[in-house]
Amino acid sequence: MKRNEHGQLLVLEVLVLGFIVMPMFGLVIQLGFVYAARQQAQNSADAAALAGASLLPDSNRAIDEATKYAVLNGADHITVNIGPVTTGPPHTVNVVAYRKTLVLVRFLPVSAYMNASATATRDDGGHVRLIE
């Protein structure tokens, strides 16, 4: 081995670590943040839909209760709609909850907000259940 060839492997290792391995770690961490935010948004939407449906057919109280439970469960933004399944009084609560996530890797097409939706219904017997 010639004297001037020492350390070439070190340069190659630095390049591989810097341009391949480290960005992969960043991608894995980013996807973990996205998944966690999506699950938190889904939990908020589920809780809000169930809480709102429990107060149907009083639409105003149902919207207030759904909003309260979504905020208590960590939603950053929420949309609540009351809608009938069939003709007659409203029987469903539709909730879309948004949860902010941390964006580490800027070149990925990842939104700063993850959203999730849930729909709950209350039948005439007073039983509340999630539809979606």
- pLDDT tens, position by position, 72-121: 988 888 888 887 655 445 578 888 888 887 766 666 565 666 677 677 77
Residue 103 CB neighbour total at 10 angstroms: 13
- Return mean pLDDT, the chain: 77
Distance set, CA 65 to CA 29, 48, 52, 71 (Å): 35, 7, 5, 10
For 13, other C-beta atoms within 10 Å of its C-beta total 11
What is the longest distance spanned by two Cα atoms in the chain? 89
Other beta carbons within 10 angstroms of residue 91's beta carbon come to 18
121-130 pLDDT, tens digit each: 776 566 777 7
Q: For residue 93, give the CATH number of its domain.
A: 3.30.1300
Residue 106, SS3? coil
Domain assignment of residue 79, given as a range = 3-130
pTM of structure: 0.72
The total domain count for the chain is: 1
